[in-house]
Amino acid sequence: MQGLVTANSNAASSFLSRIKQSLAESAGDIVFGMEDGTVSIFGLVFGVAASSTTSAPVLLAGATGAIAAAVSMMAGAFLDVQTSRGIAKAELERERQEIQNNPEAEKQEIRERLSGQGFSAEDTNTIVAILERNNDAMLRFEAAFELKLGDTAERNPFVHAIWMFLSDLFAASIPVIPFVLLPIETARTVSLLLTATLLVLLGIGRARIAHTNLLLTVLETLLVAGIAAAAGVFIGKLVSG
């Protein structure tokens, strides 16, 4: 029994560890997905709400728009990662063939690159000697310093697509939820406040990930959402006459 409990505990810990790792790797997708979902549906919802006297049209537009946007972003993230991974794998295979077919030329490239970085001739020869013991080590070196692929070839398109879908759908639902629970007049105000709060948090997240100015990034995020809302209201008023 104790062994079973330990095995289950280890499995749960491993699962949580994988979730955390995928979350960290997809942080950019999550922030981008949430920002896209919030801004696009915020503009749509306020465009419809500006010309409606009941919440039904707002809910219909918001719900269908949120699902469509989330699926679209999920597909886009999947295709982007899949394409990037395919290109990276092709470049790695080409580099692998070059190392196998012309190892001396590849070693000379490495020597020149290390020399350019300030390594002495002795250190350069030592590093090359270590690398040539294993072709995979030389390939990893070239992938990092010549091809600059990072972990592109190892990224999982399904993981990035799922995080993109969940983050986009969650954020897109925020402007819509008040119209489910409240009269339309109150819902407009509550939706505006909730969306503004989320956008501020997203701006902070963007600033931390991109290491940009916090205040400017938050203001930029709010400005983009404000433009989207103004455009939605303008079109809504124009169509409703």
Residue 62 CB neighbours (<10 A):
26
Give the tens place of pLDDT for each residue, 170-217.
888 988 999 888 888 898 889 889 988 888 888 888 788 778 888 888
Residue 224 lies in a domain: yes
Place of tokens 């339309």: 184
Residue 180 lies in a domain: yes
Single-letter amino acid code for the residue at 39: V
Domain count, the chain: 1
In the structure, what pLDDT confidence band is assigned to residue 236 with cuts at 50, 70 and 90?
A: low
pTM over 0.75: no
Residue 17 lies in a domain: no
- pLDDT number for residue 5: 46
Q: Are 39 and 225 in contact (CB under 8 A)?
A: yes
Domain span at 113: 27-240
Give the tens place of pLDDT for each residue, 46-76.
888 877 788 888 888 888 988 988 898 888 8
Give the tens place of pLDDT for each residue, 14-36.
656 666 666 666 677 777 778 88
Residue 20 lies in a domain: no
171 CA to centre of own chain: 14
Residue 19 lies in a domain: no
In the structure, what pLDDT confidence band is assigned to residue 152 with cuts at 50, 70 and 90?
A: low
Residue 84 lies in a domain: yes
